[in-house]
Each structure stands twice: as structure tokens, then as C-alpha cells.
Structure 1
Amino acid sequence: MNTLRKPLLVPLFFAIGGCQVWQGRDIDSLPPTASLPEQSEPGQVNIRYWMDIPGAEPSALTELTRYPDNPDNIETLNSLQQTQNRADDYGAMVQGFITPPQNGLYRFFVSGDDQMEFWLSDSQSPDSAVRIATVPAWTRAGDYSKYSSQTSAPIELVADKRYYFRIIFKERAGNDHFDVSWEGPNLGQQVIGADSISNWAQPSYPTEEDAIKAYSRGYRIGFFDSQNSLSFNPQYPPLDEDGDGLYDNWETYYGLNPGNPDDASVDQDDDFLTAMEEFELGTSPDKEDTDGDGIPDGAEFAYNLSPLDPSDAAADSDSDGANNLEEYLEGTDLNDPEDVPETAAELTAGFTGQYYSGTSFDSFIDYRTDNAIQFNWRSSAPISGSPSDNFSVRWSGIFQPPHASGSRDYRFTVRTDDGVRLYVDSDLAIDQWVDRGATANSYTRTLSAGEDIPIKMEYYDARYGAVAELSITDVQTNEEIDQASTILSTDPISENTIDTDGDGLPDSWELRHGTDLSVADSTMVLAANSGITVLEAYQSNLDPWTLEPLADSEPDTPDTTEPVPTEPDGSVQMSWSVPQKRADGSDLNAGEISHYKIFYGLEENNLDMETQDISKDQTSYVIEGLDRGIWFFSIRVYDTNGLASQPSNVEAFQIN
């Protein structure tokens, strides 16, 4: 069974085991390179010892001036394990390579007496090694549960690939031992043995990265000469008269001087890459955008894109819905999903009207587009589902004055039965929020050509007749302006990031769900006695008035824990901790939790299967009958008011 646990704040760690020794030798007088074998040998690793070092901290060893090149003696281990009680007050270091037998996820376990650290790289290079497991104090041999830091999270490894590792061990007094175990695909927990280790040897290049660079440089130089019909000299290092790191043929071709070392630092095309950087990347130093995808070479390099691949401009590096080219052009961060380009609002002709029951926008009924505000409903309901009396309406739009040049006066006239408020460019121009018979009021505003201004008209009907009319008149010509051709409003059906009032709610969402796009109302509570604000409802994918689930926004995140796999057999157990907080930081009592639900599937962006409701009293659940392949899992928590959390981060696990 794959047991998927997500313990809080669990760092990645690996473990070690196995021991066989050979005669130690004093290498204090040897230079560092002489102390390393020329070739890596499988089945064994060297362990280096430094004696008479007080203290239990690994730093007591690593801060020695003779660490790591001059130990007191060297011995050999045939597994990542030392079992004998060797001495007191000493330190040891083991380094080499681990080679996994199969592709998949591995976990590592360490024990030791007194303290130890285990470091692992994602390649053969020690430069990439990170500390992934520790024993912060002593443990018994094979006891991996005393401290959480003894066990790593799952790490994806590739079969037959060598990974550099390093063990640092410090003994103070008494018993002393250490071991490292692992588990993985078709591999039960066991000490890492001779068939998976090999010793550290002097590399051909300082790092694997340097070796790759050397190969790449030679290949690209040959290709460059061939592509441009230049004479290729196969000597290595390549021809470089001025010693600036640039191949002479390359400098000549691009108008640089093979005899001037200073031109390696110039930026010919103003793409924020020097000639040296362009040479290393294979880009053109005289072309700002080598692949012609609209993103300059320097920007692509800075955002980990390829300046030689035009297709990555259409990719979405941070999965925020905007492609890389759109983000570059808008000046947002290509790798930050929270930094999203502002999407222009889609506009539609006429006002958007929001209709409510009650004379103070008490309960939202629906919205619609009205080409003009010219209504005399008399004793009829204004919209399906609305009462014929005691209702209210809010119309929102943008007036585009039709004159082509100069300034012009426009008169805005409202005639209503009963109350009305008219806002012109956010100014309260008419305020008659009272019961009354059909009465007209006017307001005049001078507008320049092209000066678009927002218009908002609020109206209520108490009883009997219902009249709501707005007219706009050009004072100079005394002609009434056609509203259908001069009024635009945000299309409520569109999805965009425009937030006029800056309250965290997009304008189109506010229009669809009965909130005011020109007033910061996200902290209001519209669902009676719920305590749920409009913003919380939006974040939780709920109707702010009824708290019924919606399908047009993203919900909140649960405080769940991260799954971790063990041996695969077609089933997965997911475990989690009980969430303690809501998204806004407020406390979440256990009694407020209704249930949990796990969503899963074979595609990361399509978790099309789900479990039944899982009791609030459970903190784990087994999913069985999974076919071979990589499965993706996420979990949500639901409260007693129907609020659904945002899915947890999607985690991938391989079933073999």
C-alpha cells in the first residue's frame, strides 16, 4: 500500500548503512587531489576519520582547517553503515554516489549516536548537494522515529543515475554508530548496500556542469563554423587570441575584435546580455530577440526560458492564465502566479441593471442589460422573480459623450416614482432617496471630447406606480442623446481582472452577484447570520447572498498535510491533520467541520474522480484499485455552513 502522509514542516532527509574496513593510512602530507582515487569503484565508499575532536556537533568537524582533505586515516565501507563502537571524540565523513535500481519515489531514514547529517545532490556534482536528513542527538541503531528530521520526504530518482551524497558524523562519548536506509519502488526498507553505492573519485572536470559546458562549447563551435562556412580548427581549447573566453571565429563573424579582451563584456543589441553570455547561450549578440518570439534574449534568460525556442512565449510558466509574452509585455512577473496582467474589461452596449427585492437592495434577484433607463412599470414587476412593489435597482454604465472636439455641456435628468440617487463620475449629483410621485430632477456637467465618465443610478419603488427614467441632453443643441449608442458597461459574463473599487472582487463578478462595483463592499455580510463576508464567499466559490456553491471563482485552501508514499500495490492511503484556521486567519473549531473529500485522477489538471464524503472524525483514507501509472491527489475540507476550501496542492504518486 502507498501510505501518503503530509506531516507539517517535514524536511527532506536520507539515510545510510553498511560497513567494511581496510587498513587506514595517514594522508596528512598529501595534497587534496592525491587523496582521491582516479576512478570511482562500485560496491564501496571511503570513510575518513579525524580523531581527538571534542563536542557532539558536526560543525566541530567541518570547521577544522584540515577538513575535508587531511583526515587521520581512511577506511572502506561496503554499505552505508558503521556498527562498531570505534572511539570517543572523533568525526567522520563519507562521500560517494548512490545509484537507484528503479525510477520512482524514494524515502531515506537515518539513525546515529551521537549526531549526523546526510546530504544528497540531484546529480553527480557535490555543488548541488543539500542537507536532507539529520540526527540532532543520539538514537539507537535502526531507530528512525525518535526525531522527525530522521526521515526524508519522497524524492524522485532515476534508475541507474548516480547521485552524489555526503555523510558527516560526530561522536562525543559512549556508544557510536550510524546507518542510512531507504525504501522505494519494489524496495522494502533496508540499509543502502554495496549494489547501490560507489566511491567518490577525482572528477575529470571540477563539476559535472563544467563537463557539460565543455562538451556544449565544442559542439556549438563546430556547428557555428559549419553553418557559416568558416574554417574549423578542431583544437581544444578553441582559438582565443585575446583570452577573453570568446571563440575567435565567432568574434570576427559578429564584428567583435579577437584581439580585444574588453569586448566580451559589451552588449551590442541592448538585450541585457554581454557578448560572453550570448556566446555561452548560443544567441546572436547583434539581435535583441534571437528566436523572434517577442521576448528579448536577456528577459528569457532571466525567467529561465530559452532564447532559442520561440514556442515558450506561448507557454504559461506560472499557470496564472496569461502566457509568457503577455506577461512580459504587461510588465508582470512570468514566475509569480499572484502577479497577473490586468485583463481588459469586455464591454457591452447599455447599462447593466442589478435587480433586488426590498427598497434598500435587500436581496439580489438577477441582472440584465438595459439599453436605456426608460421604464414605467406601473403595477408590474420589473423582472421575473421580483415583487411588483418594494424592489430596488442599480444601473451601472459608462457615458461616452458623442461630440468630436472641444467641451460640451450635458444635462442628466431623472424622473422617478419613488427614490433615486444619480452618481456622475462618482459624484452624487442627485439625491432624492424618498417616497414620492413621479418627479424630475436635473444635473448639468461639462465634458471634454473623449472624456468617458461612469454613471450609476440607484432607484427604489415602495408601492403603487413604479417609474424610473433617465435622459441625457446636449445643452447646446437641446437634442436628447441615444443611450444605446453612448452607454457601455462591463459585460457581466466576461472574465477579467478589472477591480474598479479595489476591494478584491472583479467587476464582472460583482455585477453577476449583486454587489456594487464602485463601492468597496467586500467586507459586508449579505447572508443573514452567517458571518461570511462577500470576499470570503467569492474566495470560497459561493453565492454571497445564499452561500450556495458557484462555478465561476476559485475557493480557499485547506490546512491539510502533504501525502508521502511507501510501497506500491494499487492502493494509496492519504493522511492529514485537522485544520485549525480559516483562510482569513480566524480559528476553525473542530465542531465547525462537516467532512472531507479527496479528488484524484491520472491528469494533474483533471482530477475527475472523487471519494465519498469522509467523516470529520477521520484523518486518513485508503483509495484502492488504482491502475499502474502516475496518480495525482488533492483534498478539500467542508464546514457545516457548506463552505468548501480551496484544494490542497496537487501531489503526484506513482503506482507500479
Structure 2
Amino acid sequence: LHNLEDPRTPSASVDLVAGQSYAFEILLKEHSLEEHVTLWWQVPGSSEPEIIGSQYIHSYVQPADDLDGDGLPDAWEVAHGLDPESGIGGGYADFDGDGWCDIEEYGLGTDPADADADGDGLSGGEESTVTLTDPNQTDTDGDGIPDLVPAIDIPAWSYDAWFDAHISSSWSNDGTNAIASAPQYAPWVAYSFNVSEAGIYHLAVDTSFAGTFPNPAHEIRLEVAIDGIILGQFSMNHAQGLPEYTLFTPWLSAGPHRVKLMPIADYWDPKPFTIHSIVFGAVDGADADGNGIQDWMERILEKGGDTDGDGISDLDEILLGTDVMNADSDGDGLSDGEELALGTNPLDADTDGDGVDDGTEVKESRTNPLVSEFDGTVETVLTIPGAQTNAVAGEWMADGTELVSQGRRGWAEYVLDLPSQEIFCLNLSAAHEWQKSSCTPVQPREKSSFLLHVDGVFVGEYPFVCADGVYADLRAFLPALPAGEHTVRLSWENVHTRLAVRIAQVEVQRLGGPDNNENGVKDWIEASVAAMAGLDEISESYISPACIEGDARYVPFMQIVDDASCFVPVAQSAGERWYVNLPLRGNRTTEATVRFQNGAFELPVAIDWIPYNLIDHNGETITIRQGDSLRILCLPE
């Protein structure tokens, strides 16, 4: 607890009361050097600590009936099945796994070998530290309802059918239990369940293991996830006959949920691991303020935890009505926290009701999710079967009209013949395919991604999420492209050897919307391109060519035309930035037009080439690039 270079500097301070006796315990690390302990204190009125005098310290005589010095009488340890020779740290062990160490149980008079003295399904530690119920009373409030009531009893054998179809060699059932052939390599086993009343539940998973443990220190942990959120790995020592895993869930809303369980062993013994029961219990606790949330739940919620990591505390999510277990309650691609910051509705995927969800407007089209810019119409102008590619790389196979990957990665190109110049949507219909193996079962993967390029220009990376064999759509907004043929490349990104993708078709869609200024460009397209475009302010320059720069998402689709109708090359800068060297005219203002995304949006430029007056700058140094021109003037005021 102290800095060894200056042992008088404590890491914590404890205020002592005059006349009060204090007991302390010093545990020394065993090594070959001589042991030495010095105790210091700082008395009132002194600015420096000093060694505590021997007249203030009384030695502790080891009781004859506690030879290992753990604070527990040997006879009491033997009577309760504990080891009287476990050592000085034995009192701080928790033999029954109830959350109370054995020395606490000795002081309370409870049984260190019985985690649930009152038999209500809650351990003594859970009742004393979490639910605040009486660990010695089955019905703390005497209302005729036990402190814990089974609310959801999931048959262990009834794990999800799709999972059984893929992992049958690892998980099986006997009509009652779920059985893993060995916990060392068993994947997730998943169960769907329904919550009728929102709240925090007590989950108990009863298990057994047919193998042996090399020593009592070994354990099998159980990793628990609900609705895709891993709640942690919970320990249980089967060597001591402690087969039940328990935890308190986060706040679960009323409705469907999914729990996934996976055993993890810290040593090798390939014997069956069995799940006997999965029970979500409802606690009958006090609700002093009558707000429908039990007091113990409020204590947990008031700590400000954020289970789904969306930037909103669980308590605030309950008040807002959003999902504590889902960072994106409405599934629009924006987290609930992002929606609150933007002013959109986290419970409505399309806040402005224009037919395009909020996430797409913010991240893809860059339109305003609070203003209705689309009219809700979607027209498919082109459909290309997946197998109708003009080029591929990697291992692909045509299966009828569909294209199926044979390797982990690769790309396929498609030629799009666009009927007009505007922003189109590319809609990809595809499905994952999982290759089953009976010898080394692994949980099917549901996530991969596609990189999209058009005419060699990178558009973006898009996550693709779907279950095995279930077709899903992936939508991406293309840049504003002129009418005619364009090539799109879909690069599939994946690292798992058993995951394949099946491309059914590629569609090109036109999204409708008004053109209020009647310039021939839909308002949402103008707003979209304008949101991706920018020009840093500049009106004069000492140097020619002048360096003009700004923002643009698709720099290769930019053009800059000067007042002589000459095109000036545009260069890509870091990120979504661009720059151009614009030659200036010495006798008049140089004007140019910056065209973004093939002219879908334009910004004007007007720059004067002004002289650099040497007298005004009084010998200052100016740096210019090789080949640039500087207009010089030496004119007194």
C-alpha cells in the first residue's frame, strides 16, 4: 500500500478516534530476505509522520483453536466441511459461493457450506448486497409471495432449432437437458424467451459436468449473453459440487429476447457438460415510492450503467422508452445517443416520414432527417442477376442466376447503364452460407462486409449482416453519375473459412422527390451533394497559382473550370479534402466554377492577385513554391 522508495507516503489515509482500539492484519510476501515492518502515523498538530511507539501497540496472541490463523475456529471449520489448515487467507474464501466470505459467515452465524440458507433461490450474498431481502427469511415482507418467484422457465433441451441444425455434433438433447460433448470446445447454445413484465431478473443456470478436476482450483466458467450483449463470464467450481451459475440481468423490456450460453473450461477433460435448467426469477422486493420499479432495481439503475453503450444510461432509457439492451432501438443505423444529439426520434426509424430512414439520411445521403426531402417513391430502373458479371477476382461459381463465393474474399464487377444523371441507390440482395463440419463445430457467423467502388472510385464499406440462408438487402447511395455505362465493383470482405456469400441480384433504384426550384435537379440530390461539398474562403492571393482547397466526398468526380473554360486538375488531399492550383490573371479578378459530383452542385470562385508591398512588410520573409509567381511592389505610403 506504500511507495517503497518513501514508506512514509501512504496510498490511503484513515482517521483514528482517540481512545478507540483498532485491529490490523499484516500479510507479508514470502521470500528469502529478512521480513521487516514499520508502522507510522501522523499525530494531530504534526506535519510529519512518525513511527508508532510500542506503548501504543498490543500483540495478538494466536488462539489455540485457530492454528492456521484464518480467524475461524478449527472446530467450526471441521463442522462445516472447511479445511482447518487452509492458511491465514482461508477466512476470506467463499466456500459456498454466495458472495459472503467464510469469516463473514462465521460472524453472522450462517452456514458457509449453504449458499441459500432460507431456500428461496437467492444466495445470502445476493440478498444482502443486491435485493436487500432477508437471507434468513423466504418471504421477507410477509405478503405470501416468496422473495424469488420463477417467472420464465426455459426447457434446457429447447435451444434454437437453427442452432441445432448446425452444431448437432457438439450440442444434443435427451428430451430434458442440453448436452455438450465437451465444454472445452462447445460453442454458444441459444434460447429464445419472452418477458411479460419489464424489470431486472435473476438468472439461474443449473449444470453438471461428467469429467474430473485435477484440483479444486479448476473451474468451468459460463459466458452469458442476452440480446447479443455479453454480460460476462461467471465462475463455478464443479469440483466442490457447485453447479449453478447465477446473475442479475440488466433491465429487460417486455417482449422477445434471446439468451446465449457457452461453457469455458480452464483445463482439458473432454467429458459431457450438461445444462439442466434455465430459470429467470422475479424478485418480490419493496417499492417504497410506488413507481413500479423495486427499490433494489432503482439502486442498480441509479449507478448510471449503460448496458448497450449507446451513451444513454439504462435509467434514462427506461424513462425514454428506448431499449436498454439495444443501442439502436428503432434499427435505423443511428444509436439512441446519436439520435438524441441530432434531435431525431430514437423510437422512429424515419423521423421526418419521407421514406428514408434517419441513419441513411445522416450517413449516406447526407440529407436532413428532420425535413421531408424524399417523396417516398422508389423505382427500380435496372436489375442485374448476380451471375451476370463482367469480371471477378477470387473463387466464385455461378449457380443458376446467382453468384456464390468459393473462398473467403473476392470481388465481382457489374456494368450499370444509367438512364439519366442523378444519384441512384444500389440495392444488393444476398445471403450468407455456412459450411457445416461435424468434426470441429463452430458457431455460424452472421457478419461480413462489402467494399463498393464505382468507376474505380471508393464509395464506402458496408456491413452485411444476415443469418445463414436468409436473404437480406444492402443499400448504398452512389455518387451523382452522368447517364451511360458505369462499372461497380463489390468486394466481399470476410476472414472465416466456412463462411460464403450468395449474390442473388443487383438493383439500381431511383428515389423520388420534389424539384421546387425547377432547375432539373431534385432538391434532395442538391442537398445531398451540397452537404458533401465545401470551399475554404479565399478572395485574394499574393501568389499565382493560388492554392484553393475544400471538402468533397468524391474528389475524382470533381471538375474546376476557369473563366476561359479551361479545366484545372483537382488533387486529392487527406481524408475528404481536395485542393487545386488555380493560375491567376494579373489585370483582373480570376473567376472559376467548382463542380462537385459531375456538376450536381456548383460553387463560384473569385480571386484577385494582389501585389506584395515590400515596404509594408518591412523585410519579412515570404516562402513560395518553386515555379510559383509573386507580384512585388515597393511603394511608400
- Which structure has more RCO (C-alpha within 8 Å, separation ≥ 6)? 1
Pairwise TM-score range, normalised by the shorter structure: under 0.3
TM-score, structure 2 as length reference: 0.23
More strand by share: 2
